[in-house]
């Protein structure tokens, strides 16, 4: 894999240097420790009765080919927690598996002609080897891959249960369509409105799809966020905003068309502004818009135009706001006024009723739309001190807290809540509307027009319609020898897959060829780890034992979708009696992304081609900022896109293998942990690895010196030992505090400080009571981060058999006691010196001591201080 490494090792074998046993040899140490764990089955999790369980789960990887630094970071963090809790006496389960279905396998197939199944299983084999070399405390007997029929059978089974309960249903959905490749594109495959391979402008297309009714659980998904104190606030906020509960009024504008009376329904959170409505806007897909286009060619063309471009919300939100009148109008439900109806590209068919009332005076988007189309602007809310101008938008116009209704007839003078109530009551009396809760959350569309995924277990019969595959026929197995070519789903071309008999009537029928969103696979894998061998059911009693996951660790990029879908799926499983918990993850650690530079170039067809950072040469400006780059392969410029998360598709991942080969797993793990707080983003750079390696070399050397000292002779403790011991326990106390708040980088720093402390202390028989204690604390504190070297030194030093089962070190309060403490002395808030006082000095004597000090005397110059602030144990501030 790595040429430098191959040369190095062949060099070694030729010269066969004498092994210096005193030298830190990570490869030997790590292989020995891993062999030991392997043969003793150390990390096999049994359902223990005598210890509290701790289910520690890291998000499983997509088998993209090689591990990247994000994986190393994720799994090291998880492993640190798993090993820490084991030492604290828990029965730990830490499993590993593969999120094995997905798009990259199909892209690889297109590029290399290898079937996605082969590619995926090869990747898994290589990445498993890499993970094992990192020495994670994983129970490998529970390994699973979502592309195995024994796993995805239960996706299908649960889907059918949901279908029975109406939780799964079929309706039309909008997708990105590449007209050249005749295929559906993922959002990722749409670059600036064009297909990534063909460069053709993407169209929207409506196709039938299966949906899961996650909105039925919206209320519970929102409310239960309050029952997750172990989740980061920011993730809960993001989920709450995503679910988006809003209170408002759904009401109708009546109209007559084609000799019939009808109603145009809208939803608004600002019913208090209803008297300011000057037009209505429809989504392009709205039936009324389509009716209007029937005899209006220019409107029809506009609607057609709206159907081009991507379906992504970010694109919709940033595109130019365009609209066109339908020529139709409706009646204001309260005033009977005639209201013109427009079609606007910013109205979403998928939210609410696909139509909105427009109040330009109090909604920014409506305001700009009205101005560019010369539509009237009618202010109906007045805020003290904010004069209204229809020339320039001001954010205050949309403020609902401080305004009162004006120009609104009987509603004049009412504040927001009263006005909404009054308007809703009047609309209700007319039978034209009511108060209503609206959710931003939409049902989960799971159909994918792709090959490498879990088949949706449906058979389409010309007579019986859509028929679920009977349970006895599950799983519907995906043929593994297909090679996608980019033009549609290869499953549809497989006669042996498609043709089948209808389970109901036995006549010839066609199998559904859409597969499931891969988020389905990852929505319940944590439950299957409890019983991966189970053939008779989805889960059994072992899932009750292990669930919920005590600690889940994964990238912040999953803060919404994956975590929300998993929460939903757990609630469905609970309602089906499969599990008893309502939430799958008790504590959540959202690891920051590992970022790297991204370089790309437009290819001949208009698509995007990415370059790995080690394939380009950089140009910098005077400040060292990257200004450009050229590809080393052809010397031509490439575009620098800035930094972004490491991903296969952007080719900016860094393979940790070279690091592991050169320094060993412990160094890689230590460095990853030391680099930054687990939750913070980390811009990749390998400078600093040397420091981590040096530390382990020094630790090894110290450990060996310690082993060589004769066995313990009891000696009296000196005052130097006492103060070193105070320092040691101070460091340990802080490290344990940092462990609790998962700030592992400072735990690693504490380990370095402990070694510095030991190296500065005499290392003799006499000091051995202290150095023994200190080394045993240091090894245990460090062992979750660098398990191999600590395992070996622990054994050599004779501290015990197996450090993985040694008790977690706790600080000794009595060691922390000191006679004197140092206080910071401030004058007017500025640092002016320090004071040594007795540890039990009272406020008055500290104050006296501060006032007597040189700096205080100088600044006070005989005057009395205005104020003296004493912060116990920290500082004194004299305000002159």
Taking CB under 7 A as the criterion, which residues in 570-599 touch RNA? 593, 595
Cis peptide before 168 (omega within 30 of 0): no
Q: Where does 414-538 have alpha helices with state H?
A: 416-429, 495-498, 518-521, 525-528
Least distance (Å) between residue 439 CB and RNA: 8
Tokens representing 198?
A: 């063909």
Q: Which stretch binds RNA (CB under 7 A): 7-15, 283-291, 430-438, 731-739?
A: 731-739
Interface residues for RNA in 423-442 (CB under 7 A)? 440-442
Least distance (Å) between residue 617 CB and RNA: 20
- Judged by CB under 7 A, does residue 762 bind RNA? no
Residue 55 near residue 90, CB atoms below 8 Å: no
How many residues bind RNA, per CB under 7 A?
Answer: 101
Site string for RNA, 494-533 (x = CB under 7 A): -----------------------xxx--x-----------
Q: Buried b / exposed e across 599-616, counting CB within 10 Å, b at 16+?
A: bbbeeeebbbebbbbeeb
Q: Which position among 322, 435, 677, 795 is part of the footprint of RNA (CB under 7 A)?
A: 677
Q: Which position among 1, 122, 308, 737 is part of the footprint of RNA (CB under 7 A)?
A: 737
Q: Name the DSSP class of 411.
A: G
* Nearer Cβ to RNA (186/437): 186
CB-side neighbour CA atoms (13 Å) of 727 = 19
- Judged by CB under 7 A, does residue 639 bind RNA? no
- Judged by CB under 7 A, does residue 209 bind RNA? yes
Residue 142's CB: how many other CB atoms inside 10 A? Answer: 19
Least distance (Å) between residue 406 CB and RNA: 26
Interface residues for RNA in 233-252 (CB under 7 A)? 233-234, 237-238, 241-242, 244
- Judged by CB under 7 A, does residue 444 bind RNA? yes
Tokens representing 326?
A: 């339908």
CA-based torsion, 702, 705, 709, 711: positive or negative: positive
Interface residues for RNA in 856-875 (CB under 7 A)? 867, 869, 871, 874-875
User: Three-class SS of residue 175?
Assistant: strand
Q: Which residues contact 230 (CB under 8 A, 6 or more apart)?
A: 586, 587, 588
Interface residues for RNA in 307-336 (CB under 7 A)? 311-314, 317-318
Interface residues for RNA in 154-183 (CB under 7 A)? 173, 175-176
Q: Which stretch binds RNA (CB under 7 A): 301-309, 414-422, 448-456, 532-540?
A: 448-456
Q: Which position among 30, 79, 91, 99 is part of the footprint of RNA (CB under 7 A)?
A: 99
Cis peptide before 555 (omega within 30 of 0): no
Q: Where are the beta strands (DSSP E) in 179-270?
A: 183-185, 190-191, 194-195, 203-212, 245-257, 260-268
Q: Which position among 545, 743, 837, 865 is part of the footprint of RNA (CB under 7 A)?
A: 743
Interface residues for RNA in 101-120 (CB under 7 A)? 101-104
CA distance 482 to 480: 6
Q: Tell me the sheet residues that pair with 171.
A: 209
* Nearer Cβ to RNA (282/520): 520
* Nearer Cβ to RNA (155/746): 746
Helix (H) / strand (E) containing 404? strand 404-405
Q: Tell me the sheet residues that pair with 249.
A: 268, 435
User: Three-class SS of residue 243?
Assistant: helix
Interface residues for RNA in 820-849 (CB under 7 A)? 822, 824, 826, 828-831, 834
Helix (H) / strand (E) containing 566? helix 561-575
Least distance (Å) between residue 295 CB and RNA: 33
Helix (H) / strand (E) containing 341? strand 338-344
* Nearer Cβ to RNA (338/723): 723
* Nearer Cβ to RNA (263/321): 321
Least distance (Å) between residue 495 CB and RNA: 24
* Nearer Cβ to RNA (104/656): 104
* Nearer Cβ to RNA (42/743): 743
Q: Tell me the sheet residues that pair with 637.
A: 630
Least distance (Å) between residue 179 CB and RNA: 16
Interface residues for RNA in 649-668 (CB under 7 A)? 649
* Nearer Cβ to RNA (334/347): 347
Site string for RNA, 49-78 (x = CB under 7 A): -------------x----------------
Least distance (Å) between residue 311 CB and RNA: 7
Least distance (Å) between residue 574 CB and RNA: 21
Taking CA atoms, 181 is separated from 80, 106, 516, in Å, by 47, 15, 21
* Nearer Cβ to RNA (82/594): 594
Residue 586's CB: how many other CB atoms inside 10 A? Answer: 18
Least distance (Å) between residue 394 CB and RNA: 12
* Nearer Cβ to RNA (69/292): 69
| Residue in 70, 24, 9, 3 with CA at minimum distance from that of residue 692 | 24
- Judged by CB under 7 A, does residue 877 bind RNA? yes
* Nearer Cβ to RNA (223/505): 223
* Nearer Cβ to RNA (104/548): 104
Least distance (Å) between residue 444 CB and RNA: 7
Q: Which residues contact 389 (CB under 8 A, 6 or more apart)?
A: none
- Judged by CB under 7 A, does residue 625 bind RNA? no
Residue 378 near residue 405, CB atoms below 8 Å: no
Interface residues for RNA in 681-720 (CB under 7 A)? 681-683, 685, 687-688, 690-692, 694-695, 697-698
Interface residues for RNA in 456-485 (CB under 7 A)? none
- Judged by CB under 7 A, does residue 752 bind RNA? yes
Rg (CA), the chain: 34
Residue 845 near residue 873, CB atoms below 8 Å: no
Residue 198's CB: how many other CB atoms inside 10 A? Answer: 20
| Residue in 683, 661, 686, 655 with CA at minimum distance from that of residue 64 | 655
């Amino acid at each position: 894999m790595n040429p430098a490494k191959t040369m190095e090792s062949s060099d070694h074998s030729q010269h066969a240097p004498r092994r210096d046993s005193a030298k830190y040899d990570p490869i030997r140490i790590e292989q020995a420790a891993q062999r030991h764990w392997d043969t003793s089955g150390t990390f096999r999790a049994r359902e223990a009765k005598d210890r509290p369980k701790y289910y520690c789960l890291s998000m499983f990887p997509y088998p993209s080919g090689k591990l990247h630094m994000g994986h190393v970071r994720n799994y090291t963090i998880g492993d640190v927690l798993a090993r820490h809790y084991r030492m604290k006496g828990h029965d730990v389960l830490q499993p590993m598996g593969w999120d094995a279905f997905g798009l990259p396998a199909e892209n690889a197939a297109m590029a290399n002609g290898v079937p996605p199944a082969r590619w995926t299983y090869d990747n898994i084999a290589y990445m498993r080897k890499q993970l094992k070399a990192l020495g994670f405390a994983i129970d490998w007997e529970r390994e699973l891959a979502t592309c195995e029929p024994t796993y995805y059978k239960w996706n299908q089974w649960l889907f059918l249960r949901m279908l029975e309960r109406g939780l799964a249903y079929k309706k039309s959905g909008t997708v990105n369509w590449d007209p050249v490749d005749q295929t559906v594109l993922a959002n990722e495959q749409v670059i600036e409105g064009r297909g990534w391979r063909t460069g053709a402008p993407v169209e929207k297309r409506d196709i039938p799809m299966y949906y899961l009714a996650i909105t039925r659980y919206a209320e519970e998904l929102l409310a239960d966020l309050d029952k997750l104190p172990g989740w980061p606030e920011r993730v809960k906020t993001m989920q709450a905003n995503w679910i988006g509960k809003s209170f408002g009024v759904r009401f109708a504008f009546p109209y007559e068309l084609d000799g019939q009376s009808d109603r145009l329904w809208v939803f608004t959170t600002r019913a208090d502004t209803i008297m300011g409505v000057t037009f209505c806007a429809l989504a392009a897909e709205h039936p009324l818009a389509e009716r209007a286009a029937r005899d209006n060619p220019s409107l029809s063309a506009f609607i057609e135009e709206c159907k081009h471009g991507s379906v992504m919300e970010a694109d919709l939100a940033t595109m130019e706001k365009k609209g066109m009148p339908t020529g139709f109008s409706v009646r204001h439900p309260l005033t009977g006024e005639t209201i013109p109806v427009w079609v606007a590209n910013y109205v979403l068919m998928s939210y609410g009723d696909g139509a909105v009332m427009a109040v330009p005076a109090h909604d920014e988007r409506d305001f700009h739309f009205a101005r560019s189309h010369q539509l009237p602007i009618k202010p109906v809310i007045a805020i003290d001190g904010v004069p209204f101008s229809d020339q320039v938008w001001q954010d205050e116009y949309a403020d609902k807290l401080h305004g009162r209704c004006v120009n609104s007839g009987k509603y004049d003078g009412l504040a927001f809540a009263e006005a909404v109530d009054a308007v809703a009551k009047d609309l209700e009396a007319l039978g034209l509307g009511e108060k209503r809760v609206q959710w931003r959350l939409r049902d989960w569309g799971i159909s994918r027009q792709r090959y490498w995924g879990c088949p949706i277990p449906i058979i389409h019969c010309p007579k019986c319609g859509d028929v679920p595959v009977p349970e006895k026929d599950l799983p519907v197995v995906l043929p593994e020898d297909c090679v996608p070519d980019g033009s549609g789903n290869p499953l549809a071309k497989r006669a042996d897959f498609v043709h089948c008999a209808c389970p109901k009537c036995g006549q010839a029928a066609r199998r559904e060829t859409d597969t499931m969103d891969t988020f389905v696979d990852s929505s319940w894998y944590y439950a299957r780890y409890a019983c991966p061998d189970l053939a008779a059911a989805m889960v059994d009693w072992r899932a009750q034992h292990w669930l919920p996951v005590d600690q889940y660790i994964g990238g912040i990029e999953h803060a919404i979708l994956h975590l929300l879908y998993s929460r939903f799926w757990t609630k469905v499983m609970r309602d089906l009696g499969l599990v008893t918990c309502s939430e799958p993850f008790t504590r959540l650690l959202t690891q920051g992304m590992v970022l790297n530079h991204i370089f790309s170039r437009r290819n001949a067809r208009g698509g995007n081609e990415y370059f790995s950072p080690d394939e380009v040469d950089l140009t910098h400006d005077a400040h060292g900022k990257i200004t450009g780059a050229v590809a080393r392969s052809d010397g031509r410029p490439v575009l620098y896109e800035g930094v972004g998360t490491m991903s296969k598709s952007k080719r900016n991942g860094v393979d940790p293998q070279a690091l592991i080969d050169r320094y060993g797993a412990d160094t890689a793990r230590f460095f990853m942990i030391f680099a930054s707080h687990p939750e913070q983003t980390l811009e990749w750079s390998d400078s600093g690895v040397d420091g981590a390696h040096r530390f382990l070399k020094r630790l090894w050397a110290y450990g060996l010196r310690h082993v060589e000292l004769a066995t313990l002779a009891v000696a009296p403790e000196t005052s130097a030992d006492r103060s070193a011991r105070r320092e040691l326990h101070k460091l340990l106390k802080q490290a344990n505090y940092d462990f609790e708040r998962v700030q592992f980088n400072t735990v690693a720093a504490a380990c370095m400080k402990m070694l510095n402390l030991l190296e500065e202390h005499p290392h003799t028989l006499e000091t051995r009571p202290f150095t023994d204690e200190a080394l045993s604390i240091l090894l245990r504190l460090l062992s979750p981060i660098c398990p191999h070297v600590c395992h070996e030194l622990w054994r050599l030093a004779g501290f015990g058999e197996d450090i993985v089962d040694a008790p977690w070190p706790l600080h000794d309060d009595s060691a922390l006691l000191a006679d004197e403490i140092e206080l910071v002395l401030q004058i007017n808030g500025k640092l002016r010196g320090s004071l040594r006082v007795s540890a039990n000095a009272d406020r008055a004597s500290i104050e006296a001591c501060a006032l007597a000090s040189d700096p205080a005397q100088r600044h006070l110059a005989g005057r009395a201080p205005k104020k003296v602030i004493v912060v116990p144990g920290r500082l004194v501030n004299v305000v002159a």
